[in-house]
Amino acid sequence: MGTLLDQAPLNKTLQMEKIKARLKAEFEALESEERHLKEYKQEMDLLLQEKMAHVEELRLIHADINVMENTIKQSENDLNKLLESTRRLHDEYKPLKEHVDALRMTLGLQRLPDLCEEEEKLSLEMIQLMSFISKVTLRSRKRSGRQSLRSPRSLSLWPLQLLLPSNSKWLESRTLGRQPPSGSSPHL
The structure's pTM equals 0.48
Average pLDDT over residues 128-156: 56
Minimal CA–CA distance to 160: which of 180, 137, 140? 180
**Is residue 95 pLDDT above 60, yes or no?**
yes
Using pLDDT thresholds of 50, 70 and 90, give the confidence band for residue 161: very low
- pLDDT, mean over the chain: 75
Question: What local confidence, expressed as pLDDT, does residue 123 receive?
Answer: 59
Least confident of 15-24, 111-120, 167-176: 167-176
- Sequence-separated contacts (24+) of 83-87 with Cβ below 8 Å: 83/127, 83/130, 83/131, 83/134, 86/127, 87/124, 87/127, 87/128, 87/131
